[in-house]
């Protein structure tokens, strides 16, 4: 159904005949950590996330997994293993 609260006239799965079924009856504004994310939309009532109704909840356990403004560095610490030697070590039981 179409939203009649924060995202007026946008299709939303939380909108029911009785109104918004999301906790609190409407989407919540973005968290301060969301600033800079491409999913932030400026609506008449403020800034809201285009993907998540409660942006603060996405930051409770670390970084938001949908954020577009965060670059996560992956450091590989793999050591090369010679498959032949590993096979011999396995055969010896070490």
Contact footprint for ligand SF4 (CB under 6 A): 30, 34, 37, 39-40, 49, 51-52, 55, 58, 64, 66-67
Q: Which is nearer to ligand SF4, 7 or 58 (CB)?
A: 58
* Residue 77: CB minimum distance to ligand SF4, A: 28
* Residue 91: CB minimum distance to ligand SF4, A: 50
* Residue 53: CB minimum distance to ligand SF4, A: 10
CA distances from 8 to 15, 19, 58, 71 (A): 11, 12, 23, 33
CA distances from 42 to 61, 63, 80, 93 (A): 25, 22, 50, 63
């Amino acid at each position: 159904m179409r939203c009649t609260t924060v995202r007026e006239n946008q299709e939303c799965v939380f909108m029911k005949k009785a109104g918004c079924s999301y906790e609190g009856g409407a989407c919540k504004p973005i968290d301060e950590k969301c600033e800079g994310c491409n999913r932030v939309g400026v609506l008449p009532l403020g800034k809201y996330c285009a993907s998540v109704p409660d942006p603060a909840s996405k930051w409770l356990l670390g970084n938001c997994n949908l954020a577009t403004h965060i670059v996560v560095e992956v450091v590989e610490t793999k050591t090369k293993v010679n498959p032949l030697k590993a096979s011999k070590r396995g055969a010896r039981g070490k």
